[in-house]
Amino acid sequence: MAVLMPNVKLDEPDDADAVNTLRIGVLRLSRRMRHLSVDRTLSLAELSALGTLARCGPMTPGELARKEHVQPPSMTRIIALLQERGLVALEPHPEDRRQKLVAATGQAEEMLEASRGQRNTWLADLAGELDEEEWAALRAAAPVLHKLAHL
């Protein structure tokens, strides 16, 4: 069982510097990776929703909105745009006929796989510029960054 640490304190110089460096690094890396999208016509919100559907499977629009931290009307617009492009399909809910499930299509899965491959290759090439110690630290930090992204 993990032992929880005390709260990070921004009035502590070391904590504040670490948080600031992490924020800047994550933002810059994210911005650079955004430009590697296979389909640049999709917004970040649309790509994120597709990724969630591909990872988690079909779900109601409300569930998708909650997972994506957006309001239901915004998700309704995102789903409509993705449906127009053939990237999601609406299916009947197996238990509630009033509901629909949103599912990623095969076309979306292929696009996401190509995008992941492109970004992974780019990131691996970039990581190849690190020395062994830096690469070991980054490998160790990867699960922690993943956890932070999903808290």
pLDDT beyond 60 at 84: yes
Spatial separation of the C-alpha atoms in residues 139 and 63, rounded to whole Å: 32
Count of alpha carbons within 13 Å of 147, Cβ hemisphere only? 5
pLDDT attached to residue 76: 96
pLDDT attached to residue 33: 82
pTM higher than the cut 0.85 = no
Rounded mean pLDDT of 123-134?
A: 94
Rounded mean pLDDT of 44-57?
A: 92
Count of alpha carbons within 13 Å of 100, Cβ hemisphere only? 10
Q: Within 10 Å of residue 47's Cβ, how many Cβ atoms?
A: 20
3-state secondary structure (DSSP) of residue 101: strand
What is the per-residue pLDDT across 35-50, written as a single tens digit (0 to 9) for each? 776 667 788 889 899 9
